[in-house]
Each structure stands twice: as structure tokens, then as C-alpha cells.
């Protein structure tokens, strides 16, 4: 009885495999034709996103460089910070 059940499964598998082999030359080109525009749109979208990210990164780097240059200029212009006097120096006066 168990042999009959496994024989039916094996035969069904062969039938499905044969059906796939016969239909593959018809189905695959149809699927490729349907998915080609989707794949092309995804690639184009990725290229556009890459360009935008590259642009934003360049602008951010430029902004940070400008801020660093401004901070450096402000430090160069300002006088040295005064050191707090110790308690001993304040007591002598």
C-alpha cells in the first residue's frame, strides 16, 4: 500500500516536470517581457537616487567645511581667553 502511494507521488512529480518543460519556452519569454519594463524602471530610479544622494552629500560636506572655516576665523580673531585668578592672587590685592 505504501509503495502505491509513493509511486503516485513520483508519477505526479514526473508529470509536473514534463509540463513545466513543455510550457517553459512559452511562459519564460512572456514573463521576461512583462518584467523588463519593471526592471528598467527600478534601475533608472536607483540611478536617480544615487545622483541625489551624491549631490546632498557634497552639499553637506561643503557646509561643514564652511562652518569649520568660520569657527577657525572666529578663534583667530578673538583674544586669548582670560585665565581666572587664583584665590591667593586675589587676596594680595
User: What one-character-per-residue DSSP string does 2-49 give?
Assistant: HHHHHHHHHHHHHHHHHHHHHHHHHHHHHHHHHHHHHHHHHHHHHHHH
* Segment 12-22, tens digit of pLDDT: 788 888 888 88
The average confidence (pLDDT) of the chain is 83
Q: Is the pLDDT of residue 1 over 60?
A: no
Q: Where are the domains of the chain?
A: 2-74
Rounded to whole angstroms, the Cα distance separating 57 from 51 reads 10
Q: How many CA atoms lie within 13 A of 16 on its CB side?
A: 6
Per-residue pLDDT tens over the stretch 34-67: 899 999 999 999 999 999 999 999 999 999 999 9
Amino acid at each position: 500500500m505504501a509503495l502505491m502511494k509513493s509511486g503516485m507521488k513520483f508519477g505526479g512529480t514526473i508529470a509536473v516536470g514534463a509540463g513545466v518543460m513543455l510550457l517553459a519556452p512559452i511562459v519564460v519569454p512572456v514573463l521576461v517581457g512583462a518584467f523588463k519594463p519593471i526592471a528598467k524602471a527600478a534601475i533608472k530610479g536607483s540611478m536617480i537616487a544615487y545622483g541625489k544622494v551624491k549631490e546632498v552629500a557634497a552639499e553637506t560636506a561643503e557646509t561643514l567645511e564652511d562652518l569649520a572655516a568660520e569657527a577657525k576665523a572666529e578663534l583667530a580673531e578673538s583674544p586669548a581667553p582670560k585665565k581666572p585668578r587664583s584665590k591667593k592672587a586675589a587676596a594680595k590685592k
